[in-house]
A and B are shown apart, each in its own frame.
Chain A
Amino acid sequence: MDLVLSDDQKMIREEATRLLAERSTSERVREVVEAAQGVDAELWATIAGELGWCAMAIPEAFGGLGLGMTEQVLLMEAVGRRLAALPLWSTSCMAAPLIAAVGGDTAKAELLGRIAGGEAATVAWDIFAVDPLAHIGFDARASGDGYVIEGRAAQVSDLLAAAIVLVPAQLDGGLALFALPAGTGNSALLPTLDGTRQIGELTLDPVALPASARVDAAGFDAADADAAIASAMLGLAAEQIGAACGVMDVTLDYIASRVQFGRTIASFQAIKHRCARLEVDFSEARSLVYGAAAGFDATSPAERGMEIAAARALAGDLLYRASEEAIQLHGGVGFTWEYDPHLYFKRAQAASCLLGATHAHLGLIADALLGAEEAR
C-alpha cells in the first residue's frame, strides 16, 4: 500500500484548498449561519455544478471520474477546514455510495448520473448510530402498482438542499430503498447548534409512491450497505480532521501575534506544549484517515470497519479538543462571537455524535478484539 499522495491527488487537494479559502471565508460562513439555512447554495453551485466535485468518486460508467476514496477524503478535509456549508458529505459520502452498493441498474444510471452532474442527495437513516440501518424509522408495503410508505426521520442532513432523498424502509421483513419524488412528504428545516450543516426532519404520513420510486436491486441488508456506511464514517472523519486543522491554523495565528509580558504568548512553553500535543493527535488521526482511505477497497470489511471506527473516534476527539483549546488559548476574545473559535467548537460538538460517538466506535473495536460484550 502506498501512502504517498500522487501529483494528481496533491493537485486536487491544493485546488480545493485554494478555492475554499477564497470562497468560504469567515465572513461568508457567518452569513450562512445568520441566514439559518445551513447551506451555501452559491458555493455548492460552483463546486458541484461547475467543478464536478461530486463526479469524482462516481464510476466512469455512470458519468463520473472513477477516482477513489483518497480523493474523496482530500476533498472532505478541505471542506472541513473552512467549515464550508456544503451538502458534499451527504451527497458523495452517503447517498452516492449507498446507491452504488444496493441500487438497481436503472436507478444507478439515473441517480448517479444526476449526482455526478451536481445534484445534491441525502439518506434519511439513523444518523446518530454506528449502524444507521439497524433502526429504520420507515415502513413500506406494496399497494396497487406502487408502495405506501410511512414513518419519520428526526434529523436528516441536508434534507432541504437535496434533490434526491433516499429513504431506507422495512419491507416484507427486509430493507428496501426508495428515492422520494420531489415534494413528497413533509420536510421541516430545524434550527441547529452548528449553523454550518443543514438538518431537517422528514415525515411521511403515510404517502403513496409509484413503483419507480423503489431503487434497490432486490432488497438488501445492512451488510450489503457496508461500503456506504464505511464511506460515510470515513468522510466525516476526514471533515473532522480538516476542521481541526482549520481551528489550529486560527489559533496559531492568534497566539503568534498576541503579546503579554513583553512577548508573544506563543513563546510560552505552557502554550507551545499544548499546541504540540494537538499536533501529535492531528498527525495520528490524519494518518489513520489516509491509511484507511488508501486501503478502502483492499481491506476486508471487518478490518476496514475497525480502522474506520478508529479513525472516526480519533478525529472526533481531536476536533473537539482542538476547538476547546482554541477558545482557551484565545483568552477572552475566544468567548466572543467576533472571533472564529466558536464556529469550530459548535461544529465539533454537533459532529461528535454523528454515526456514533467515540465510545460507540471504541465499542465496535472492543467487540472485534475481545468478543461482543455480554448483555448485562
Chain B
Amino acid sequence: MSDQTTDELRAEIRDWMASNLTGRFEVLRHRGNAGDGDALPDLRKEWERVLAGSRWTCPGWPHEWGGRGLSVAEQIVFQEEYSRAGGPGRMGHIGEGLVGPTLIAFGTQEQKERFLPGICSGTEFWCQGYSEPSAGSDLGNIRTRARQDPATGDWLVSGQKVWTSLAHLSDWIFVLARCEEGSVGRNGLIFLLMQLDQPGIEVQPIRQIGGGAEFNSVFFDGARASAANVVGKPGEGWKVAMALLSFERGISTLGQQMGFAQELELVCEIARENGAAKRPDLRQRIARAWTGLRAMRYLAMRVLSDDPSGETMRETLGYKYHWSNWHRDLGKLAMDVLGRDANVISDDPRHERLRQLFLFSRSDTIYGGSNEIQLNIIAEQGLGMPREPRGSLF
C-alpha cells in the first residue's frame, strides 16, 4: 500500500472523528480506557452505533460481513487516528476483535449470520469467559462444567468465571468449559456462546483498587447454551480458544501506544508546570520512558510487518512483558512527578487520570499472562530453554 493511500485514509478518519466526537459525545474523549472501562456505558454504546452508521466498526473484517476489508497497515492507521482524537474505549472491542474473527474462521454459516451483524451494528456486546478462580495463568485448569441435555442437545453450564471485563454491560459471553468428565488440561474443553440474560447466570461486579468496577465474577448454575452455539467441535475448545487470542495480532496495540504517548505527554506537561522537570532524577526517568515507548513502537511495527520468514517471532514474545512493565513504571513516574499533589483529590481531571494510571497499571503485568508466565514463555519458546515441570496437585 502506498503512503498516499494511507495519508488519504488518515485524513478521512481525522475529519470523521473531528466532526462526530462532538456535542454530547464530547464528554467521551479519553474516557472508558483500561482502568476507566465502566465509565459512561450508555453513551459509549450509542457512540458505537454512530461508528457503525459510518461503517467504522469492524473495518478489518471482510466486506461480506459488513467490514471494509482494510489491510493491517490501514487498520493501524485507524487505531492511531482514533486514539489521537481521544476516541473512547471501545465497548465493542471484544466482539469486533475476538469473537468476530473467531466466528469468521471457525463458525458455522448459521452462527455467522446470527452473530456478526449484531457486532458490526453496535447492538450486541460481548465479554470473555476464560479465567476462573483456579485457572488464571494456568488456563488449562478450567473447572466450569458443560453437560449435554439429552432431550434438546443443548449444553448446561455450571461453575464460575472471573475477571470478566464489562460482563455487567454485555449481552453475550463466550465460555470455555470442560465437557468431558475426568479430562484434564487442554483436552475435553468446549467453546460456547451464551446469552447472559438468563436464569442460570448471575453477574457480580468486582470493585478494583482504583474504586471502579469493570471486572466481574460470572456465576453459572445450569445455564443453557443452545446446541447451535458450540464453536468448533466439543472437546476441541482449547484450539478455538487459543486461535481467538491470536486474532488480535496486536493491531490495537498501536492505538494503545497512542494512549501511552498521550499519558507520557501529560506527565511531561505537569513536570514542566510544577518544577519536577528541573529534577535530574526525574529528567532521566522521563527520558527513559520516552526511550521505552519509541522502542515499543518499532518493536510493534516489526511484529506487525507480516514477515513470512517469521524472523521476528522470537522477539514478538517479549512484547507483552515490555509494554506492561513500561506502563506500570509510567504510573509510578506520574506519581513521583505529581509529588504531594498525588496525595489529595483535586479538581484537576489530569491528576485523577494519572492516579488511575498508577493504580490500574498494576493489573497490566498480571492479566493476559503475568510477568512470570511471560518470562517462562520467552525462555522456553524464544530461547529454547527447558520447560517447567508440571506439578501433581489439582
Task: Enumerate chain A interface residues (CB-CB to B < 8 A).
Answer: 1-5, 10, 252, 256, 263-264, 266-267, 269, 272-273, 275-277, 279-280, 282-288, 290-292, 306-307, 310, 313-314, 359, 361-366, 369-371, 373-374
Contact = CB atoms under 8 A, between A and B. Distances in A.
B294 interface: yes
A264 B386 contact: yes
Contacts of A359: 284
Contacts of B317: 279
Nearest to A369: B268
A362 B294 contact: no
Contacts of B319: 283
A314 B295 contact: yes
B283 A370 contact: yes
A374 B277 CA distance: 10
B287 A284 contact: no
A361 B284 CA distance: 9
A306 B283 contact: no
Main SS at interface, chain A? helix
A11 to B, nearest CB: 12
Interface residues of B, number: 47
A280 B283 CA distance: 24
Interface in B275-328: 277-278, 280, 283-284, 286-288, 290-292, 294-299, 301-302, 305-307, 309, 311, 314-315, 317-319, 321-322
A168 B116 CA distance: 68
Contacts of A307: 294
B286 A272 contact: no
Contact of B297 (A267, A279, A291): A291
B323 to A, nearest CB: 10
A369 B298 contact: no
Contact of A365 (B287, B307, B318, B372): B287
Given A280-B321, A310-B291, A3 B301 contact: yes
A374 B284 CA distance: 15
Interface string B226-266: 00000000000000000000000000000000000000000
Given A3-B305, A4-B305, A363-B284, A287 B295 contact: yes
13 contacts: A3-B298, A4-B302, A252-B384, A263-B386, A267-B386, A269-B376, A276-B378, A287-B299, A291-B302, A310-B295, A313-B288, A362-B284, A362-B287
A306 B290 contact: yes
Given A264-B386, A275-B383, A307-B294, A370 B286 contact: yes
A373 B299 contact: no
Interface string B357-394: 00000000000000010111011101111101000000
Contacts of B284: 359, 362-363, 366
Contact of B385 (A267, A285, A365): A267
Contact of B298 (A269, A290, A364): A290
B271 interface: yes
Nearest to A310: B291
B272 interface: yes
Given A288-B291, A310-B290, A283 B299 contact: yes
